[in-house]
Amino acid sequence: MKIKIKSLVILLIIFNTNLKAQENKGLGYAMGVGISLLIQNEKNKEALENYACNFILENYPQYDQFRIKIIGTGIKGKKLSDDGSMNIVPFKFIRLNNGQVTNDRKLLILLVDENLVNEYGVSYESMKFEFWDVKFWNNIITKFASINSPNKDSIINSEIPVYSKISSSSEADITIESGTNNTPFYYQKTNEKINVSKLNISKTGLKNYSDVIFPFYSLDGDDYIVGKFNNDYKIIANENSIGLFANTFDESIIIKRSIVNKIHDFLNFLDEDTN
């Protein structure tokens, strides 16, 4: 959905962008500068939340009671390279009923391509809001886990096969070489399965409390494994994070694992905080 010009003007007011200093490049350029400042400054949580609120009010009239809050401190995307231009802003969205919190939770994300600014002004197609529900999110985590593990079994309905760590290689179904000395870790498959909604995402695998029950490959910082998720996104596995390639923008972004777990806990009601 396209962002309306009046919303962009609000962003400029928030940051007191010096339009006079940009007069040689035009108002469109100044609008783009204002948005970029908003995206790059993590201290402007309230401004970003107001921006998301305006989007909901303009595009979702059925949402007449809700709570919107940034997850973390705002921008927590890490670009794939110094030349990357994508940013992602995740928001908690909770519907209210008579002013009280309900169990209706969603993730609202703002995708922004920093290439939106040029001499001709703002490219509105370079900014996009999306709502993701818990099923969509858990499918992302499931796909990420499946491409990032030597497990060969299909994962159905996000039911993750459970592996137990063992000391001997003779009965191991999976061997992971990890660390500077390529120390081998052995895992044996059990008959148990746990839904991904109950698990935590770590560098070494999906965890049930403190135990890795679904091991990941030991990737280096420059290693990437890619799998198709749907027509809009590809999923990327990296050493410390989950990545998305947005086909709309032809750009990739890596999301820090700490933010991934905050999103996961929020959507799956693993967090105690209702804010």
pLDDT tens track for 215-268: 999 988 789 999 999 999 999 998 878 999 999 888 888 888 889 999 999 999
Task: Decide if pLDDT at 24 tops 50.
Answer: no
Q: Would residue 163 count as lying in a domain?
A: yes
- Cα 251 to Cα 44, 254, 258: the distances in Å are 25, 11, 22
Q: Would residue 141 count as lying in a domain?
A: no
Task: Decide if pLDDT at 132 tops 80.
Answer: yes
Per-residue model confidence (pLDDT) at position 88: 86
How many alpha carbons fall within 13 Å on the CB side of residue 101? 12
Per-residue model confidence (pLDDT) at position 75: 52
List phi, psi (to 5°) of 84: -65, 150
Q: Would residue 261 count as lying in a domain?
A: no
Task: Decide if pLDDT at 13 tops 50.
Answer: no
Task: Decide if pLDDT at 86 tops 70.
Answer: yes
Q: Are residues 9 and 126 in the same domain?
A: yes
Task: Decide if pLDDT at 60 tops 50.
Answer: yes
The answer for residues whose C-beta is within 8 angstroms of residue 273's C-beta and 6 or more apart is none
Query: Domain containing 158: what range?
Result: 149-218
pTM for the whole structure: 0.82
